[in-house]
Amino acid sequence: MPAAVRIGWAFVRTTAGFGWRLVQKQAPLALTAGPLGRAVAKSRTSAALRSAGRDVLPSEEGLLGAYPHATSRILVLVPDSAEDEGCWSAAQEQTGGSYASRLASLLDWTPVHLRCAPPSLEVDRAAEVSALVQRLVDHWPEPVQRVAVVAHGDGGLALRAAAAVRSWSATPWQGLVSDVVLLGTPHLLVDPPAGSLAMGRQLDEELAGIVTSDRVAEAVEPIPAARYVVITRPARLERSTVGSLMGSLLWWRDRSRLRRRSAQQLFPTASVVHVEDSRLPLTNHPEVQRALLGWLA
């Protein structure tokens, strides 16, 4: 249900903004947004570095000003496109901290927030994200020894596309990535079905960790030396009654054998870890905190 609530709220925000722009007789920017249920990007760019609620220029001066105590380890935190960097601070009163604060104080990682637009098949969008991460590494105040990525929702899909863009730098950022941790990121790819209502279909399949090939590219190689982990909830692997009520009456798992679709692994080298406790968000969960401290030691 948390995913259903998030999609519903993002849909309300998107449609409300669209109506307001029509009243104002402005260009309907919502038409350039991602699929139904995704919030409109707040910027025309595909990605931005964030610190203290502001965008950070990926220059030597900009990075030094934003990260005066930078270390050789960069922790890149990527929220879902419907969220901002505030999602990582959820439930701090229960957990006593965040992934960023724990990894910074205990393992000397420097957290960097990266906001990405919704995933797309557009090559230019992936190239823009990749170029931004490359500039981050090239102009970092300290020599970079290791990069880890923790992404939530479709933020993991945006980084997946960016990692496939070849860099001509002497030190490509992909070669520095040791770990990619994906929280609730869709990790199964199927062909888009015919004849089902889009909103119910998307909700039903997102709850099951599925994304369709009209949203992401199929052939993307993982970063060779990186360890991939997909963290999800067991409930995402069950049939969604809510999705059926909203239109997807023939869910992909319930189709006849002649019409059954097969799912392809988006992250074939990844380990899949199930988090049982659903009371706390994956963006700040004590089980995930403990696992990160072990993986990124």
Average pLDDT over residues 163-171: 89
Average pLDDT over residues 117-131: 89
- How many domains does the chain contain in total? 1
Neighbours of 122 (CB within 10 A): 12
Q: What is the CATH number of the domain that holds 179?
A: 3.40.50.1820
Is 116 inside any structural domain? yes
Edge-to-edge strand list for the sheet holding 146-152: 54-56, 47-51, 110-116, 73-78, 146-152, 177-183, 227-232, 271-274
SS3 state of residue 288:
helix
Amino acid letter at 45? T
Of 18-22, 166-170, 205-209, 285-289, which gets the smallest average pLDDT?
A: 18-22
Is 24 inside any structural domain? no
Q: Which residues contact 37 (CB under 8 A, 6 or more apart)?
A: 7, 8, 10, 11, 14, 82, 199, 202, 203
Decide if pLDDT at 132 tops 60. Answer: yes
- Give the structural domain span for 208: 43-295
Confidence tier at 134 by pLDDT (50, 70, 90) = very high
Amino acid letter at 192? P
Is 57 inside any structural domain? yes
Is 8 inside any structural domain? no
Q: Determine the Cα–Cα distance for residues 125 and 122; give it in Å rounded to an integer.
A: 6
Is 219 inside any structural domain? yes
User: b/e for 153-189, b at 16 or more Cβ within 10 A?
Assistant: bbbbbbbbbbbbbebeeeebbbebbbbbbbbbbbbbb
- Percentage with pLDDT > 70 across the chain: 70
Q: Determine the Cα–Cα distance for residues 250 and 228; give it in Å rounded to an integer.
A: 32
Is 16 inside any structural domain? no
Q: Determine the Cα–Cα distance for residues 103 and 20; give it in Å rounded to an integer.
A: 42
Q: Determine the Cα–Cα distance for residues 265 and 282; give it in Å rounded to an integer.
A: 21
pTM of this prediction? 0.76
Chain segment 19-45, per-residue pLDDT in tens: 323 223 332 222 222 332 333 334 457
Is 33 inside any structural domain? no
DSSP letter for each residue of 145-197: -EEEEEEETTHHHHHHHHHTS---SSS-GGGGEEEEEEES---EEEPPPSSS-
Cα 4 → chain centroid: 17
Confidence tier at 144 by pLDDT (50, 70, 90) = very high
Is 17 inside any structural domain? no
Q: Determine the Cα–Cα distance for residues 135 and 63; give it in Å rounded to an integer.
A: 10
pLDDT at 18: 32
Average pLDDT over residues 181-197: 79
